[in-house]
Amino acid sequence: MIFLQLVLFCALFTAMVMYAVRGGAVDGLYFYPKPVQERAIAIGLTDRGTMNRKRKNFMTLFYIVMATALILIIGLWNRVREFRQAYLMSVLFLEVMNWYDGIVIDRIWVGHSRFWVLPGCEDLPYVQTWAQVFKKRLFLSVIWLAGSVLVAGLTVLLFH
Domain spans, the chain: 2-159
Other CB atoms within 10 A of residue 132 CB: 15
pLDDT at 112: 96
**DSSP secondary structure letter of residue 27:** G
- Specify the pLDDT at position 79: 98
Nearest-5° Cα angle at 128, 124 to 132: 130
- What pLDDT, on a 0 to 100 scale, did the predictor assign at position 81? 97
Q: Quick one: pLDDT at residue 29?
A: 98
Extract the residue ranges of the chain whose pLDDT is less than 50. Answer: none
The H or E element containing residue 22 is none
* pLDDT for res 83: 98
Sign of CA dihedral 60, 56, 91, 101: positive
Q: Which residues contact 159 (CB under 8 A, 6 or more apart)?
A: 75, 76, 79, 80, 81
